[in-house]
């Protein structure tokens, strides 16, 4: 069991390393090849697409993963039904997302000015509904996630570095994403066939029941995006495109940091569902504290130089904003650890979701207040994000303390 957990964690860290490394390669390249306004538009549309991706996932990475983790050893037939039903449910959500995107594309100026880019990227995101990552997480075959992603994104990054040279080439970005996702799907399906897992479909009522169950996880994940994607969308509406670029680069760094936390959370979640091992959580918490403090020191003392290296001289101001986002970088690991891997593993899904919703509401109210006071800018927004993330951590840890008896301490 321990060897399997270690293996899954290693594969997830390989996946995370790729997810972090590739953007860190393309980010400084694109910020130098594209104008700051064009990069701002690209960052804005990517932020919107993160919501589309969120709708398509709809919490399945937690709900379906949990169902498969509980059924994998006893009922292969049930696993195949979960796989097929989740695929159908994602297709339904894709159609709903298409209608919503059509409406908002004519309501938000940045989206309306970049319709071709928007829809090409929408197609790219839509292809991901055929990636059975929730299945591989549930059966603890993380290599089946890491391999397709690594190969496909390697193709995308090579094409980006070779062919994108100016604003005139910007449409190639979503086209490369389409090619990349098709490759990932094909590899994933080959691996699925090798595992001898089929796809079965049940009745319509089961699909809507699954959507109802997953909605709890979706609301939690949706609320979490208030700290990142939603703030980018708001910046694009209220401030200039260069501010979107500054904020977008900062969010890229924050996302890269959070991606380092994700393998831990994702690998221990199925394990915690079946074992509820509190000692494992404590060891991980203690182990991560030192690198988190070192990373924080780097941001405090070299925030501006880091951003100049990443984005160029034009992005030096983003380094100051990154320093203000330090509470987010620190607190997000602990709030993630004590979220779904801990509380979700002992049936506290509603409490976990509620904690995220409360923090999100606080964030939204804070934004409304600074906007009403005429103080909305990147500085005040960064401070609001920090307060919200700390609030999320405090709530989740308090719930954990009250329910500590539900875990095994050995």
pLDDT tens per residue, range 323-376? 999 999 889 889 888 988 888 888 887 888 889 889 889 988 999 999 999 999
Cβ-Cβ contacts under 8 Å for 126 (sequence gap 6 or more): 56, 94, 97
311 pLDDT exceeds 90? no
pLDDT of 3 over the 70 cut: no
Structure tokens at 242: 């260069």
Residue 224 has what pLDDT? 63
Distances in Å between the Cα of 35 and the Cα atoms of 38, 110, 165, 170 are 5, 15, 11, 11
Q: Answer whether residue 209 shows pLDDT above 80.
A: yes
* Domain tally, the chain: 1
pLDDT class of 155 with cuts at 50, 70, 90: very high
Per-residue model confidence as pLDDT tens digits over 39-84: 999 989 998 998 899 899 888 887 888 888 887 666 788 889 999 9
Is pLDDT above 80 for 408?
no
Q: For residue 230, what are the domain limits?
A: 2-406
pLDDT average, residue stretch 11-37: 81
In the chain, pLDDT over 90 holds for what percent of residues? 43
Q: Please report where in the chains the tokens 């990154």 appear, as a residue.
A: 322
Beta bridge pairs of residue 277: 408
Q: What would you report as the CA-atom Rg of the chain, rounded to the nearest whole angstrom?
A: 21
Question: Is the Cβ–Cβ distance between 142 and 136 less than 8 Å?
Answer: yes
The pLDDT of residue 319: 94
What pLDDT shows up at residue 310? 83
**Residue 250, pLDDT above cutoff 80:** yes
């Amino acid at each position: 069991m321990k060897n399997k957990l270690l293996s899954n964690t290693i594969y997830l860290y390989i996946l995370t390393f790729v997810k972090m490394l590739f953007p860190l390669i393309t980010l400084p390249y694109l910020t130098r090849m594209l104008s700051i306004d064009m990069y701002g538009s690209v960052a804005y549309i990517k932020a919107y697409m993160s919501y589309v991706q969120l709708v398509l996932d709809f919490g399945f990475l937690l709900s379906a993963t949990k169902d498969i983790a509980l059924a994998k050893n006893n009922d292969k037939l049930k696993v195949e039904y979960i796989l097929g039903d989740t695929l159908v449910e994602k297709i339904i959500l894709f159609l709903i997302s298409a209608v919503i995107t059509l409406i908002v594309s004519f309501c938000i100026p940045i989206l309306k000015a970049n319709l071709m880019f928007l829809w090409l990227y929408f197609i790219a995101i839509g292809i991901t509904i055929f990636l059975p990552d929730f299945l591989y997480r549930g059966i603890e075959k993380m290599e089946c996630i890491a391999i397709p992603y690594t190969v496909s994104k390697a193709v995308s990054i090579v094409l980006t570095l070779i062919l994108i040279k100016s604003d005139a080439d910007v449409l190639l970005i979503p086209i490369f994403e389409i090619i990349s996702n098709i490759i990932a799907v094909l590899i994933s399906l080959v691996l699925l066939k090798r595992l001898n897992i089929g796809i079965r479909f049940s009745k319509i009522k089961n699909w809507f029941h699954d959507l109802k169950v997953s909605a709890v996880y979706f609301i939690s994940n949706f609320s979490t995006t208030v700290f990142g994607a939603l703030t980018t969308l708001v910046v694009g509406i209220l401030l200039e495109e260069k501010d979107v670029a500054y904020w977008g680069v900062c969010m890229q760094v924050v996302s890269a940091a959070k991606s380092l936390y994700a393998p831990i959370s994702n690998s221990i979640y199925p394990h915690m569902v079946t074992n509820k091992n509190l000692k494992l959580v404590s060891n991980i918490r203690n182990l991560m504290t030192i690198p988190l403090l070192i990373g924080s020191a780097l941001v405090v003392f070299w925030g501006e130089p880091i951003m100049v290296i990443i984005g160029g001289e034009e992005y030096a101001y983003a380094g100051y904003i990154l320093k203000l986002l330090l509470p987010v970088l620190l607190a997000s690991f602990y709030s993630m650890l004590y979220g779904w891997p801990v509380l979700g593993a002992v049936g506290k899904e509603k409490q976990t979701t509620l904690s995220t919703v409360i923090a999100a509401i606080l964030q939204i109210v804070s934004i409304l207040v600074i906007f009403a006071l005429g103080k909305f800018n990147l500085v005040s927004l960064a401070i609001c994000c920090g307060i919200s993330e700390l609030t999320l951590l405090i709530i989740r840890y308090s719930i954990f303390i009250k329910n500590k008896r539900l875990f095994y301490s050995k």
